[in-house]
Amino acid sequence: MQKLSVELKNTPRNTPLVPCSVSSVLNKDASLSVQNKVLTDNSSEVDQLGNRRNTHLVVFVLNKNNKPLMPCKPTKAKHLLKQGKAKVVSCKPFTIKLLYGAGNAIQEIILGIDPGYKNIGYSAVSEKKELIRGEVKLRYSRNDVNKLLSNRREYRRTRRGRLWHRKPRFNNRVSSKKKRWLAPSINHKLDSHIRLVEKLKSLLPISKTIVEVANFDIQKIKNPNISGVGYQQGEQLGYQNIREYVFDRDNHICQKCKGRSGDKILITHHIRGKAKGATDRPEELLTVCKTCHERHHKGIDLIPIKENKGFKAETFMSIVRWKLVNQLNSQYTYGYITKYNRINLGIEKSHSNDAFVIADGKNQERSVQYNTNQIRCNNRKLQTNRKGYKLGVRKQRYKIQSHDLVKYHGKVFESLGNTSCGQYRYIVLKAEKNFTARTKDVNLYQYMKGMVICSTAGC
């Protein structure tokens, strides 16, 4: 049993029933006041997993040939490991590999995928229970990609400026060479969906995959009354450019000072700023005078940020929906069907619950949820020679990256990155109080490969 980290001095002696945990499930008498509760660091299993009456946790199993089998309970996996009949191959999620020949008896497992621009929901369901469910938070939801793309553009321009001669580029763009070309950002999101499905298929013997698809009419969302030739005659019809349209929309008046500054020079201002991913859509532009614009960028008098509804998620789903279905060779369903079935089952709205309904889930026992964050795998490496100048980035890729799992003195820790001090290089390890360790004392335990998995059972 875990030792208490604090000494309990003021525990009441004259109370017939004293709660022994902060968990409301284990507290016998709910009428006791808060002063009589004994608070300790001995969190129960219910505290760690939440309410587990309707959820369960499984261990994924691979055979000798690394083919997925039906998962087992943690108790059985513990016995197999003690008897030396299996070994651990991954701890996030926990997966074991059998060291002896086993049968290939499997059940029908349906995988449901709820794709999205920022989040992906998934759920694998058998006839009796849900085997795994979770949500993946993609990189673009943290708004760090726009800054990295700007840095890459600056690096590229500097590198090209050092060239003596460069061949002219006219009709050699990628989009003109390849048919059905996708922008790198959209292609990255599509690949993230495919990687997730392949990862789940390596853990479970999935027999069928169902993906939710949707087609959005952006002009219909903006203007519900649009029809016929209205699709060809947009809101900018008759204007030469976006700048002229924005000025006319705002009546050629500064929207910050309403003309009180007396400055007649007008500028189109990005409401959110380019650094935060602003585009040149009219909804994200504002008419301001030169005086207010300069005061804003000097930080004297900031222009308030007005939230505008973007349609990046809807556009992304309209572009990649059939590409996703074809590459996964899966079946598909529609969003209104998912919503109807979810309401009938009385399940709250979430990405993992939608995926459960997509996978034809009904009254099966639910699984513990895994929350996954997509992270950057590598830092950019430009070149190893700058004609005598000092390198601006790392010379090499380190073997252990951030969020990888490592073993240090027999214990498993999460790496938080690399640091150097003189001729030695250290790895920062995550603990109650972070500390550094020499690289020669640390052994790699598991690559996370761009996906940091954390379950409700604890990370």
Same domain, 305 and 344: no
Do 406 and 353 lie in a common domain?
A: no
Q: Are residues 191 and 265 in the same domain?
A: no
Consecutive sets of 10 residues in the chain, 459 residues long: mean pLDDT of each?
A: 43 40 38 34 34 71 93 94 93 91 87 93 94 90 72 81 68 66 86 94 94 88 85 85 92 90 90 76 90 89 79 87 93 93 93 94 91 81 57 68 88 85 78 87 86 65
Q: What is the pLDDT of residue 176?
A: 59
What's the domain range around 330?
Answer: 110-142+182-216+320-366
- 68 and 136 within one domain: no
In terms of domains, do 137 and 253 share one? no
CATH number where 120 lies? 3.30.420.10
**Domain membership flag for residue 360:** yes
CA–CA separation, 131 and 359 (whole Å): 12
Asked whether residue 204 falls in the same domain as residue 344, the answer is yes
**Sequence-separated (6 or more) residues with CB below 8 Å from residue 151:** 380
Among candidate residues 181, 191, 188, 215, the one with its CA nearest the CA of residue 321: 215
Same domain, 210 and 324: yes
150 is a domain residue: no
Looking at 38, 64, 98, the residue that finishes a domain is 98
Nearest to 317, CA basis, from 306, 325, 327: 325
Q: Is 389 within a domain?
A: no
Note the pLDDT of residue 456: 56
What pTM did the predictor assign? 0.75
- The reply to whether 230 falls in a domain is no
Residue 93 lies in a domain: yes
Q: Are residues 340 and 271 in the same domain?
A: no
What is the predicted pLDDT for the residue at 420? 74
Residue 406 lies in a domain: yes
Domain count, the chain: 4
- Write the CATH number for 449: 2.30.30
Among residues 132, 58, 67, 54, the alpha carbon closest in space to that of 372 is found at: 132
**Which of 310, 328, 356 corresponds to the end of one domain?**
310
Query: 339 and 296 in one domain?
Result: no
* 46, 77, 98 - which closes a domain: 98
Are 117 and 135 within one domain? yes
Is 419 part of a structural domain of the chain?
yes
> Do residues 128 and 203 both lie within one domain?
yes
Report pLDDT for 457: 46
pLDDT score, position 386:
56
Q: Are residues 345 and 433 in the same domain?
A: no
Residue 256 domain-assigned? Answer: yes
